[in-house]
Amino acid sequence: MESPLLNFVGAVGIGVVLGLIGGFALRGKRPNAMWLAPVLALAGSLLASVAALMFGDDRQYGWKEPILQVVLALGGIALAYVMSAGGKTDAATSAT
């Protein structure tokens, strides 16, 4: 039987790796995404682990929890892209 700590370590790994990849991918268009994407991706993956724990996951690190961690980490990266826009869209900035 695996410990709950191992699941959270996996969530941290998923969040950090995907967040760093997303931050580097977005740094050209959104400079704030370099630090914001890893933070929000980590928060999303940890939120997935907490949600799995709250909804009765038997702490078997199956395929559902890592998929949810990846999806919420990618959602955090998307949120970093939107938040770092500063209320401006690419169409609005290119029109000026």
Q: Tens digits of per-residue pLDDT, 2-46? A: 566 777 888 899 999 999 999 888 888 777 778 888 999 999 999
- State the total domains in the chain: 1
Asked if the structure places residue 57 within a domain, the reply is: yes
Q: H helices then E strands: how many in the chain? A: 4, 0
HSE-CB at 61 with a 13 A cutoff on CA atoms is: 14
Full-model pTM: 0.78
The model's pLDDT over 40-92, given as tens digits with 9 standing for 90+, comes to: 999 999 998 888 878 766 656 567 788 889 999 999 999 988 887 765 655 55
Place of tokens 């410990």: 3
* Contact criterion met (CB below 8 Å) for 18 and 70: yes
Residue 52 is assigned to a structural domain of this protein: yes
Residue 92 lies in a domain: no
Q: Does the residue 94 lie in any domain?
A: no
Residue entry with tokens 């760093």: 20
CA distance 80 to 49: 20
